[in-house]
Amino acid sequence: MANVLAHISGIIIPALIFYIVSYGLVNRSNVYEDFISGAADGFKTVIRIMPTLVGLMMAVGILRASGLLDFVGRIAERFTRPADLPADLVPLILIKLFSSSAATGLVLDIFKTYGTDSRTGMITSILMSCTETCFYTMSVYFMAARVTKTRYTLAGALMATAAGVVMSVVLAQAMT
């Protein structure tokens, strides 16, 4: 079964590209010109959201370098201990809300300290896959789409992240 999946994953991207080009040719559209136009629009979007990305990266770097995240983790320990959540993961949870790249740096630190097969390592791995960079996603996509009324997006995103954190602890507990 794994061998079949490896072959499917190896051909899916070329097959998708072939399908898109074939579809364009059948519909008599200039595929190359459409590609160039789409690439130019994508580049304009990247330029428009670049200040937001730089601001988020700087803010995360400042928080991490200042030691504030470790301080928050120590304060939160009395609340996380009854929930069976290691306090060292609180900074990871907070940073993951803003940046996956910065969170990956914290993940490596956690793996060096506790190991990948430890309970903390397992929670970390599951946590990284079932939570989202809420603030990053909201700021980038809302800015790109020029959304001004976000309604309940932040509350829903934070609730989904909380559910992801809870399930990370539960699943890691079931695995150990």
* pLDDT average, residue stretch 84-98: 89
pLDDT at residue 22, rounded to an integer: 93
pLDDT at residue 53, rounded to an integer: 74
Q: Where are the domains of the chain?
A: 42-175
> The whole model's pTM is what?
0.67
**pLDDT tens, residue by residue, 95-146:** 898 888 778 888 988 999 999 999 999 999 999 998 888 887 888 788 778 8
Tokens 């670049």 locate to: 50
**pLDDT tens, residue by residue, 21-71:** 999 999 999 988 998 999 999 899 888 878 877 877 788 778 878 988 888
> Which CA distances in Å does 158 have to 70, 89, 92, 155?
21, 16, 15, 5
Sign of CA dihedral 61, 67, 72, 74: positive
